Chain A
Amino acid sequence: MVSMTALHSLTAELHAGFLTLAFVCIMLVAASQVIVRLRNGMPRKLVDLAIRTRGYMEAAGYVGAALGLIGILLSAYTGMYAWPQDVLLDSAVVRNKIMFTTFSGVLWGGVLFIRARFGRGLWTCPMMAAVYTGLAFVAYGVLGMTGSLGAHLTVGESVLDPLWNLIGMRGDTPIALDAEVAAGLAIVSGVIFVLSLAVARRYDLFSVRLEPETCQKLFKWDEPRILESTPPRE
Chain B
Amino acid sequence: MNKRGLYLILGLTILVVMTVAPPLKAYNGGVSPGNYQYGAPSCHSKQSSSSISMTATNYTPDPGMSVTVTVTVTGGEASGTPLGVLLISALTSSNSLPSNAGWTITADPTGTTQYNYYEVDSYAGSLSASWTLNAPSTNGTYKLYAREVHGNGETYTNRFVSGITFTVGSTVPSTGFTVAISSPNDGDSVSGSIIVDADITTTSNVSYAYLTVDGALVENKSAAPFAWSLDTNALADGDHLLRVTAVNGTGAVAFKEITININNGGESEELLSWMVTMGVGAIVIVTIISVAIVTVLLIRKRMMKKAGGK
A binding-site residues for B, Cβ under 8 Å = 87, 89-91, 95, 98-99, 102-103, 106-107, 110, 113-114, 125, 127-128, 131, 135, 174-177, 179, 182, 185-186, 189-190, 192-193, 196-197, 199-200, 203, 205, 208, 214-215, 218
Task: Return A215 CB to nearest CB of chain B, in Å.
Answer: 6
A205-B287 in contact (CB<8A)? no
Instruction: Given A90-B192, A185-B284, A214-B304, check contact A179 B276 (CB 8 Å).
Output: yes
**Do B285 and A196 touch (CB < 8 A)?**
no
A215–B303 Cα distance when bound, in Å, is 9
- CB pair B278–A125 under 8 Å, yes or no, is no
- The residue in chain B whose Cβ has the minimal distance to the Cβ of A175 is B277
**What A residues does B279 contact at CB under 8 A?**
186
Task: Tell yes or no: B307 within 8 A of A by CB.
Answer: yes
Q: Do B287 and A135 have beta carbons less than 8 Å apart?
A: no
Scan residues 267-304 of chain B and give those whose CB is less than 8 A from a CB of chain A: 270-271, 273-274, 276-287, 289-294, 296-301, 303-304
Provide 30 A-B residue pairs closer than 8 Å at the C-beta atoms, listed in order of the A residue.
Answer: A87-B192, A90-B193, A91-B192, A91-B193, A95-B274, A99-B277, A99-B278, A102-B278, A102-B281, A102-B282, A103-B278, A103-B281, A107-B285, A107-B289, A110-B285, A110-B289, A114-B289, A114-B293, A128-B293, A128-B297, A174-B274, A179-B276, A182-B276, A186-B280, A189-B287, A190-B287, A192-B291, A193-B287, A196-B294, A203-B301
Q: How far is the CB of A106 from chain B (nearest CB, A)?
A: 5
A105 to B195, CA, bound (A): 31
B residues in contact with A214, CB < 8 Å = 304
Besides A175-B277, A197-B294, 19 other CB < 8 A contacts?
A87-B192, A98-B278, A107-B285, A110-B289, A113-B289, A127-B296, A174-B270, A176-B276, A185-B283, A186-B283, A189-B284, A190-B283, A199-B298, A203-B297, A203-B298, A205-B297, A205-B298, A215-B304, A218-B307
A33 to B176, CA, bound (A): 69
Are A205 and B294 in contact (CB-based, < 8 A)?
yes
Residue in chain B with minimal CB distance to A131: B292
Contact B289 A135 (CB under 8 A): yes
Q: Is the CB of A99 within 8 A of B281?
A: yes
**Most A CB atoms within 10 A — which of B276, B299, B303, B307?**
B276
Residues of B within 8 A of A91 (CB): 192-193
**Residues from chain A with Cβ under 8 Å of B270 in the complex:** 174, 176
Residue numbers in A under 8 Å from B298 (CB-CB)? 199, 203, 205
From A87, A131, A185, contact of B296 by CB (8 A) = A131
**Are B304 and A218 in touch, CB under 8 angstroms?**
yes
Chain B CB within 10 Å, residue with most, of A102, A189, A199: A189
A91–chain B nearest beta-carbon distance, Å: 7
- Beta-carbon contact of A200 and B289 below 8 Å: no
* Shortest Cβ gap from B188 to chain A (Å): 13
User: Which of chain B's residues have a CB closer than 8 A to the CB of A114?
Assistant: 289, 293
Closest chain B residue to A177, Cβ basis:
B277
CA distance A107 to B283 in the complex (A): 11
Nearest residue, chain A, Cβ from B278: A99
Partner of B285, one of A98, A103, A190: A103
Complex: chain B residue closest to A90, CB-CB: B192
Contact status A177-B273, CB under 8 Å? yes
In the bound complex, residues from chain A placing their C-beta under 8 Å from that of B293 are: 114, 128, 131
Q: How many Å lie between the Cα of A107 and that of B233 in the bound state?
A: 36
Question: How many Å lie between the Cα of A99 and that of B276 in the bound state?
Answer: 10
Taking CB atoms, residues of chain A closer than 8 Å to B301 are 203, 205, 208
Decide: A106 near B285, CB < 8 A? Known: A90-B193, A175-B277. yes
Contact of B297 among A87, A102, A182, A200 (CB under 8 A): A200
With A and B bound together, what is the CA distance between A179 and B276 in angstroms?
A: 8
Complex alpha-carbon distance, A125 and B298, angstroms: 12
Residues in chain A near residue B289, CB distance under 8 A: 107, 110, 113-114, 135
| A223 CB → nearest B CB, Å | 15
Given contacts A99-B274, A127-B296, A218-B303, contact A196 B287 (CB under 8 A): yes
Q: Within 8 Å CB of A128, what residues of B?
A: 293, 296-297, 300
> How far is B281's CA from A176's CA once the two chains are assembled, in angstroms?
10
Q: How far is the CA of A127 from the CA of B279 in the complex (A)?
A: 28
A89 to B191, CA, bound (A): 11
Complex A-B, nearest 6 residue pairs according to Cβ-Cβ distance, in ascending order = A90-B192, A110-B289, A189-B287, A176-B273, A127-B296, A193-B287
Find chain A residues with CB under 8 A from B193 CB.
Answer: 87, 90-91
Give the residues in chain B near A193, CB-CB below 8 Å: 283, 286-287, 290-291
A89 vs B281: C-alpha distance in the bound complex, in angstroms? 19
With A87-B193, A177-B277, A182-B277 known to touch, is A199 a contact of B294 (CB < 8 Å)?
A: yes
8 Å CB contact of B282 from A106, A127, A218: A106
